[in-house]
Amino acid sequence: MELGTKIEKPDPDFEKDRIKYCLVDKEFRDKLFEIQIGLEQLAQFGKEMKEKEDNKHVYDAIKELKKPKIAELIPLLTPSLEKAGYIELHLDQPEMGKDVYLGFSCLDSKSDRDDYDSKRTLKKLVDAVLKDTNWRLMSDGISYRLGYLSGRLRAYEREEDLMQLVIKKDARKSEK
Protein backbone atom coordinates (compact mmCIF):
# COMPACT_ATOMS: atom_id res chain seq x y z
CA MET A 1 0.00 0.00 0.00
CA GLU A 2 1.41 3.34 -1.05
CA LEU A 3 0.21 6.47 0.69
CA GLY A 4 2.16 8.97 -1.31
CA THR A 5 1.20 10.65 -4.58
CA LYS A 6 2.40 9.09 -7.72
CA ILE A 7 3.62 11.36 -10.50
CA GLU A 8 2.62 10.09 -13.90
CA LYS A 9 4.82 10.86 -16.83
CA PRO A 10 3.14 12.21 -19.97
CA ASP A 11 2.30 9.79 -22.75
CA PRO A 12 4.85 10.30 -25.55
CA ASP A 13 2.30 9.15 -28.19
CA PHE A 14 -0.53 11.42 -26.94
CA GLU A 15 -0.64 13.72 -30.01
CA LYS A 16 -0.46 10.83 -32.46
CA ASP A 17 -3.24 8.95 -30.64
CA ARG A 18 -5.35 12.09 -30.35
CA ILE A 19 -5.28 12.63 -34.11
CA LYS A 20 -6.00 8.96 -34.69
CA TYR A 21 -8.85 8.50 -32.17
CA CYS A 22 -10.41 11.99 -31.79
CA LEU A 23 -12.18 14.18 -34.32
CA VAL A 24 -9.69 16.99 -34.59
CA ASP A 25 -10.07 17.78 -38.26
CA LYS A 26 -12.99 20.24 -38.71
CA GLU A 27 -13.71 19.22 -42.32
CA PHE A 28 -13.89 15.55 -41.37
CA ARG A 29 -16.14 16.33 -38.39
CA ASP A 30 -18.48 18.42 -40.61
CA LYS A 31 -18.61 15.62 -43.19
CA LEU A 32 -19.55 13.13 -40.46
CA PHE A 33 -22.33 15.43 -39.25
CA GLU A 34 -23.63 15.77 -42.83
CA ILE A 35 -23.65 11.99 -43.18
CA GLN A 36 -25.51 11.67 -39.87
CA ILE A 37 -28.14 14.24 -40.95
CA GLY A 38 -28.52 12.47 -44.30
CA LEU A 39 -29.05 9.12 -42.57
CA GLU A 40 -31.65 10.65 -40.22
CA GLN A 41 -33.51 12.14 -43.21
CA LEU A 42 -33.37 8.80 -44.99
CA ALA A 43 -34.78 7.06 -41.90
CA GLN A 44 -37.57 9.65 -41.69
CA PHE A 45 -38.36 9.16 -45.39
CA GLY A 46 -38.49 5.40 -44.84
CA LYS A 47 -40.92 5.84 -41.93
CA GLU A 48 -43.15 8.10 -44.07
CA MET A 49 -43.14 5.60 -46.94
CA LYS A 50 -44.00 2.74 -44.56
CA GLU A 51 -46.82 4.79 -43.04
CA LYS A 52 -48.17 5.60 -46.53
CA GLU A 53 -47.97 1.95 -47.49
CA ASP A 54 -49.74 0.85 -44.30
CA ASN A 55 -52.52 3.44 -44.78
CA LYS A 56 -52.81 3.17 -48.56
CA HIS A 57 -56.61 2.94 -48.37
CA VAL A 58 -56.73 6.28 -46.52
CA TYR A 59 -54.49 8.00 -49.06
CA ASP A 60 -56.54 6.56 -51.93
CA ALA A 61 -59.69 7.93 -50.27
CA ILE A 62 -58.02 11.35 -49.97
CA LYS A 63 -57.28 11.31 -53.70
CA GLU A 64 -60.93 10.45 -54.44
CA LEU A 65 -62.18 13.27 -52.19
CA LYS A 66 -63.61 16.12 -54.27
CA LYS A 67 -62.02 19.48 -53.62
CA PRO A 68 -64.40 22.07 -55.10
CA LYS A 69 -63.32 25.66 -55.34
CA ILE A 70 -65.36 28.39 -53.68
CA ALA A 71 -67.02 29.30 -56.97
CA GLU A 72 -68.17 25.69 -57.42
CA LEU A 73 -69.98 25.59 -54.06
CA ILE A 74 -73.06 27.55 -55.20
CA PRO A 75 -73.88 25.21 -58.12
CA LEU A 76 -73.13 22.26 -55.84
CA LEU A 77 -75.42 23.36 -53.00
CA THR A 78 -78.20 25.25 -54.81
CA PRO A 79 -80.17 22.36 -56.41
CA SER A 80 -80.54 20.43 -53.13
CA LEU A 81 -81.37 23.52 -51.12
CA GLU A 82 -83.97 24.79 -53.59
CA LYS A 83 -85.58 21.36 -53.70
CA ALA A 84 -86.01 21.55 -49.91
CA GLY A 85 -87.39 25.10 -50.00
CA TYR A 86 -84.30 27.23 -49.31
CA ILE A 87 -83.73 30.10 -51.71
CA GLU A 88 -81.19 32.84 -52.43
CA LEU A 89 -78.02 31.09 -51.34
CA HIS A 90 -75.23 33.65 -50.87
CA LEU A 91 -71.59 33.18 -49.91
CA ASP A 92 -69.70 35.71 -47.81
CA GLN A 93 -66.13 36.88 -48.26
CA PRO A 94 -63.81 33.97 -47.34
CA GLU A 95 -61.52 34.22 -44.32
CA MET A 96 -58.08 32.95 -45.23
CA GLY A 97 -55.90 31.58 -42.47
CA LYS A 98 -54.59 28.15 -41.64
CA ASP A 99 -57.87 26.95 -43.14
CA VAL A 100 -60.43 28.70 -45.31
CA TYR A 101 -63.67 29.74 -43.61
CA LEU A 102 -66.66 30.75 -45.69
CA GLY A 103 -69.92 32.16 -44.38
CA PHE A 104 -73.15 31.44 -46.23
CA SER A 105 -76.76 32.52 -45.93
CA CYS A 106 -80.11 31.61 -47.44
CA LEU A 107 -83.83 32.17 -46.92
CA ASP A 108 -86.41 29.60 -45.89
CA SER A 109 -89.31 29.88 -48.35
CA LYS A 110 -91.55 27.49 -46.41
CA SER A 111 -93.43 29.59 -43.88
CA ASP A 112 -95.00 26.60 -42.11
CA ARG A 113 -91.57 25.23 -41.02
CA ASP A 114 -90.46 26.33 -37.52
CA ASP A 115 -86.94 27.50 -36.73
CA TYR A 116 -85.67 24.22 -35.23
CA ASP A 117 -86.86 22.13 -38.19
CA SER A 118 -85.52 24.67 -40.64
CA LYS A 119 -82.04 24.65 -39.05
CA ARG A 120 -81.95 20.88 -38.71
CA THR A 121 -83.10 20.29 -42.30
CA LEU A 122 -80.55 22.75 -43.70
CA LYS A 123 -77.76 21.19 -41.63
CA LYS A 124 -78.62 17.70 -42.89
CA LEU A 125 -78.77 18.93 -46.49
CA VAL A 126 -75.44 20.76 -46.33
CA ASP A 127 -73.76 17.81 -44.59
CA ALA A 128 -75.14 15.37 -47.18
CA VAL A 129 -74.06 17.48 -50.17
CA LEU A 130 -70.57 18.15 -48.80
CA LYS A 131 -69.82 14.68 -47.34
CA ASP A 132 -67.66 13.64 -50.33
CA THR A 133 -65.75 16.93 -50.43
CA ASN A 134 -63.12 18.67 -48.33
CA TRP A 135 -65.73 21.21 -47.08
CA ARG A 136 -67.55 20.82 -43.75
CA LEU A 137 -70.15 22.77 -41.84
CA MET A 138 -68.51 24.36 -38.82
CA SER A 139 -69.41 23.23 -35.31
CA ASP A 140 -71.11 26.52 -34.42
CA GLY A 141 -73.91 25.27 -36.69
CA ILE A 142 -76.59 27.30 -38.36
CA SER A 143 -78.36 30.32 -36.94
CA TYR A 144 -81.96 31.23 -37.71
CA ARG A 145 -83.83 34.53 -37.48
CA LEU A 146 -87.16 35.24 -39.16
CA GLY A 147 -86.52 32.79 -41.99
CA TYR A 148 -82.96 33.97 -42.59
CA LEU A 149 -80.44 31.16 -42.05
CA SER A 150 -76.69 31.59 -41.88
CA GLY A 151 -73.72 29.40 -41.11
CA ARG A 152 -70.08 28.86 -41.89
CA LEU A 153 -68.20 26.29 -43.93
CA ARG A 154 -64.61 25.23 -43.51
CA ALA A 155 -62.31 23.89 -46.22
CA TYR A 156 -59.64 21.38 -45.28
CA GLU A 157 -56.53 21.52 -47.47
CA ARG A 158 -53.64 20.04 -45.50
CA GLU A 159 -52.95 16.32 -45.85
CA GLU A 160 -53.22 15.57 -42.12
CA ASP A 161 -56.61 17.34 -41.93
CA LEU A 162 -57.85 15.43 -44.97
CA MET A 163 -56.68 12.19 -43.34
CA GLN A 164 -58.76 13.00 -40.27
CA LEU A 165 -61.82 13.66 -42.47
CA VAL A 166 -61.44 10.32 -44.24
CA ILE A 167 -60.85 8.45 -40.97
CA LYS A 168 -63.96 10.04 -39.39
CA LYS A 169 -66.00 9.21 -42.49
CA ASP A 170 -64.80 5.56 -42.37
CA ALA A 171 -65.59 5.38 -38.65
CA ARG A 172 -69.14 6.62 -39.28
CA LYS A 173 -69.61 4.06 -42.04
CA SER A 174 -68.46 1.22 -39.77
CA GLU A 175 -70.84 2.37 -37.00
CA LYS A 176 -73.87 2.10 -39.30
Which residue type, as a one-letter code, is found at position 53?
Answer: E
Tell me the per-residue pLDDT of 1-52, one tens digit each, with 9 for 90 and over: 677 777 788 888 888 887 777 766 677 778 888 999 999 999 999 988 887 7
Closest Cα to residue 105, out of 119, 84, 124? Answer: 119
Question: pLDDT tens for residues 142-158?
Answer: 888 888 898 998 888 87
Which residues share a beta bridge with 137?
153
pLDDT of residue 44: 92
Give the pLDDT confidence score for residue 166 in this predicted structure: 74
Q: How many CA atoms lie within 13 A of 55 on its CB side?
A: 17
Instruction: Say which CATH topology domain 68-175 has.
Output: Threonyl-tRNA Synthetase; Chain A, domain 2 (3.30.980)
pLDDT band for position 85 (cuts 50, 70, 90): confident
Is the pLDDT at 88 greater than 60? The verdict is yes
pLDDT of residue 39: 93
pLDDT in tens, 124-143: 898 888 888 888 888 887 88
Q: Are strands 135-145 and 148-155 parallel, antiparallel or unpaired?
A: antiparallel
Grade residue 65 by pLDDT with cuts at 50, 70 and 90: confident
Cα distances (Å, whole numbers) of residue 175 to 19, 31, 73, 161: 66, 54, 29, 21
**Between 122 and 8, the higher pLDDT residue:** 122
Domain boundaries, the chain: 14-54, 68-175
